[in-house]
Structure formats: C-alpha cells, structure tokens
C-alpha cells in the first residue's frame, strides 16, 4: 500500500459526518503520490520544482501512472502545478482502484433513496488496519496530509519530523487546498448575489 491509498482509506473511515471534500482529497492524494515518489528515489525536490532523478518503476498501478506523468525535461514542473494537474479527479480514481481491489464497499444511505450519493467505507482488511495504525501511531507524513484535509484527530502531538522535501510538498498541498477553498467561497458569494438579483427587493 502507498501513502495515497492509506490516506484515502483513513479519510473515508470516519464516516459521512467527517466527510472530506473530493477536491481537497484529490490534491492531497497527488501530494501523497509525490512524497512516495520522493521516497522511492524517482523524483527530488529542487526549490519548488519536481525533478525526476530515477527510473519510474513503482509496483503500485496508480503510483506508476503518476511517475509516467512526470515532466522529465527542463523546465521542470512546479509542485503546485503538479498537484493541480495530477490531482484532477484523482480521488475518483483511487475510489475505483480500491473498490476493484476489495478494499472498499459501497454503502447506501437508508433514509433518502434520492438526492444522496452512495458512500463507500473500508472493508476490514490488513490494508485498512495498517492505514489506521499509521494514523493512530501519528506517522508524520500520513498525519500531516490528513490534517491538511481537515481530518479530525489528524493533528500531530508535536511538530512532525519531516525532511525538507516532504515538508515542501505538504506545504504546497496546504496552499492548494486553501486556494480551492477560496475559490469555493468566492463562487458561493457570487451565486448568492446572483440569486438576490433575481429575487429582487
């Protein structure tokens, strides 16, 4: 299992009352992939750039797709640009992959047959227990990413002990999530103003 797969599992594990926005999660998953690629020696971080340094041979299919999408010639891609490009609909891709692997099951809300999307929850597998153990054990990378997407209990007890490259990626994920939230708020204000215009005095 990868950090991204573990992150997806722990974000759906708490249930709908702690739902994480799909856009936020997609950005965090892209960051998790990048951190795993750093750990595998596939890429390095140079300032705010993602620089490929090794062969792209991850065992995980989605991580392999991420490696295949790297910009391998200068000028290299900025971390922020990578997050937005790779993160597009990434949470849906992980949901599909984890369902296919038997790690997730669909759960229908019982009260409202219409207007409520099916949700998924983790199956009790070794992968789920490993992800939960990483979070409960305050594993710095997973805890930091979970915290960025607002997962309750995701805050580490102390400042996480992350190396510089990972810290740079986590900070970029945080900034991207904040930017997405600002876009949402601006859109809500615009929609409210438009509705008031049509409603009239």
pLDDT digits (tens, 9 = 90+) for 142-160: 999 999 998 865 455 556 6
What pLDDT, in 10s, does the model give residues 60-81?
999 999 999 999 998 999 999 9
Residue with tokens 């607002």: 150
11 three-state secondary structure: helix
Residue with tokens 């490929």: 52
Residue with tokens 């930091």: 144
Q: Please name which of 161, 175, 165 lies closest in space to residue 51, comparing C-alpha atoms.
A: 165
Q: Domain count for the chain, please give it.
A: 1
- Which residues, listed in sequence order, are joined to residue 45 by a DSSP beta bridge? 50
Decide which of 126 and 55 is more confident: 126
Structural contact between residues 67 and 58, judged by C-beta atoms closer than 8 angstroms: yes
Find the mean pLDDT for residues 102-130.
Answer: 74
Structural contact between residues 58 and 36, judged by C-beta atoms closer than 8 angstroms: yes
Return d(Cα 168, Cα 174) in angstroms, integer. 10
Return d(Cα 50, Cα 168) in angstroms, integer. 11
Is a pLDDT exceeding 90 seen at residue 1? no
Domain around 65? 3-199
pTM, full prediction: 0.84
Structural contact between residues 83 and 173, judged by C-beta atoms closer than 8 angstroms: yes
Residues, the chain, total?
201
Return d(Cα 25, Cα 20) in angstroms, integer. 7
Return d(Cα 128, Cα 146) in angstroms, integer. 15
What pLDDT, in 10s, does the model give residues 94-109?
999 999 999 988 876 5
Find the mean pLDDT for residues 6-28.
Answer: 81
């Amino acid at each position: 299992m990868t950090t991204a797969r573990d992150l997806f599992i722990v974000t759906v594990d708490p249930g709908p009352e702690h739902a994480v926005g799909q856009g936020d999660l997609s950005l965090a998953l892209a960051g998790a992939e990048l951190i795993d690629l750093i750990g595998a020696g596939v890429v390095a971080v140079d300032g705010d750039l993602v620089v490929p340094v090794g062969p792209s041979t991850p065992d995980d299919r989605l991580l392999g797709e991420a490696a295949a999408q790297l910009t391998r010639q200068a000028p290299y891609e900025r971390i922020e640009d990578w997050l937005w490009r790779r993160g597009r609909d990434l949470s849906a891709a992980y949901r599909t992959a984890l369902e296919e692997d038997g790690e997730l099951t669909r759960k229908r809300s019982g009260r409202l047959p219409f207007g409520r999307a099916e949700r998924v929850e983790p199956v009790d597998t070794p992968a789920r227990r490993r992800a939960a153990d990483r979070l409960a054990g305050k594993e710095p990378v997973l805890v930091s990413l979970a915290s960025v997407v607002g997962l309750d209990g995701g805050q580490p007890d102390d400042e996480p002990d992350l190396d510089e490259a990972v810290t740079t990626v986590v900070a970029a994920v945080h900034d991207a999530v904040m930017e997405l939230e600002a876009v949402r708020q601006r859109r809500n204000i615009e929609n409210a103003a438009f509705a008031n215009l049509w409603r009239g005095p």
